[in-house]
Amino acid sequence: MSTNSSNSNTRSGSGKITATIGNGFPHPDYAGVPRFFIHGNNKIVLRTVDFIDKAGTQTGMNWVFPNDIENRRYEFVKDAPYHIEPLEFSYRSFNEDLKEWVGTTYLKENIGYIDVKDFNLEQGHLKADFSFQFTTYKDPKTHTVSGTIDVTGLVKEP
């Protein structure tokens, strides 16, 4: 299953993803909403976005989980026998001429976790705490992100 949807107008899920992004990140308060909360091919995909301004500035977090995720803590450790795939964190902004700049981010390897508090595939909800670190190509500082996920409305991919 791809994390890309064939229909970009389709939305699923409701709830919120909140986080604090530290060390001088331009938009330190993440208040994301689900764009997609779907399951299929033995995976759960949660794509969230925080729209920051009318010019189109936004940040996003994309998560992929196995269907059989349990209520426990998972470290973001690359190549661990049973792990959660590291999420994608994105940043997109526009300059004064409305030229788009996509901020590539690089997650710090083996730093971070997700602590699943309540996940139910049948009822379609997920509650979790998380933390991770990233850098951007524009700024060598390490930014720490800590937050919570509280979403419902998981739908099965057709």
Q: How many domains does the chain have?
A: 1
The pTM of this model reads: 0.82
CA–CA distances in Å: residue 68 to residues 4, 13, 122 = 21, 19, 11
Residue 96 DSSP class: T
Is 111 part of any domain? yes
**In the structure, what pLDDT confidence band is assigned to residue 3 with cuts at 50, 70 and 90?**
very low
- Cβ-contact 111, 105 below 8 angstroms: no
Is 6 part of any domain? no
∠ Cα 81 120 77 (to 5°): 25
Is 2 part of any domain? no
Q: Which domain holds residue 65?
A: 14-156
pLDDT tens digits, one per residue of 16-57: 999 999 998 888 999 999 998 999 988 899 999 998 887 778
Is 105 part of any domain? yes
Extract the tokens encoding 64: 């992929």
Give me the residue label for tokens 């899920």: 13
Which residue would you say has higher pLDDT here, 109 or 142?
A: 142
Is 109 part of any domain? yes
Is 5 part of any domain? no
Please give the pLDDT value at position 8.
43
Distance CA 58, CA 90 (A): 8
Please give the pLDDT value at position 37.
93
Q: Give the pairing of strands 155-156 and 29-40.
A: parallel
Is 4 part of any domain? no
> Has residue 100 got a pLDDT over 90?
no
CA–CA distances in Å: residue 50 to residues 33, 57, 95 = 7, 9, 18
Distance CA 126, CA 117 (A): 8
Is 7 part of any domain? no
Please give the pLDDT value at position 7.
41
Q: Buried b / exposed e across 116-142, counting CB within 10 Å, b at 16+? A: beebeeeebbbbbebbbbbbeeeeeee
